[in-house]
Amino acid sequence: MAGLEDLYREIILDHYRTPRNRGELEPPAVSVEGHNPLCGDEIRVYLDVQDGKVTDVKFSGSGCSISQSSASMMTNAIKGKSVEDVKAIVRKFKHMMTVEEDETPLDENVKLGDLEALQGVVKFPVRIKCATLSWNTLVDALALTEK
């Protein structure tokens, strides 16, 4: 198991050192800011949805390696996907990050890929908010695209 933990740690550090999709999008893309007052992490998610598909997504902000890596991995996972697929990925990721049992059925076809590297965060409950900050911000951005 130590080898897997090392691999996961390396994936997280890679996304922290070389974040994917860092930057900003101009309107008509929506942007929403998320903040974790407990540790000071800040994320802004920029989301462009056209015809029910995420055509582009970027993020900016600052914070710990967990929050920044999670945002980078999230943008990679959802770019080019339908809004419904994105919502399924969000549900599966948030389910993975919960310490309590959730009875909500999940789509077994949804694969998290590199995002599974963050599952070890659950061992450190105070860090779960770091990992889910960009995801909660994404949910708010999706809601704005549906108005």
Per-domain residue ranges for the chain?
2-145
Decide if pLDDT at 137 tops 60.
yes
Quote the pTM value.
0.91
2-145 carries CATH number 3.90.1010.10: yes
pLDDT tens track for 44-102: 999 999 999 999 999 999 999 999 999 999 999 999 999 999 999 999 999 999 855 55
What confidence score (pLDDT) does residue 99 get? 53
Give alpha helix (H) positions in the chain: 2-17, 65-78, 83-96, 125-145
Q: To which residue do tokens 């050192």 refer?
A: 17
Q: What single letter denotes the amino acid at residue 77?
A: A
Spell out the residues 6+ positions from residue 48 whose beta carbon is closer than 8 angstroms to its own: 25, 28, 29, 30, 54, 55, 56, 57
Distance of CA 27 to the CA centre of its chain: 21
Where does the pLDDT of residue 8 fall: very low under 50, low under 70, confident under 90, or very high at 90 and above? Answer: confident
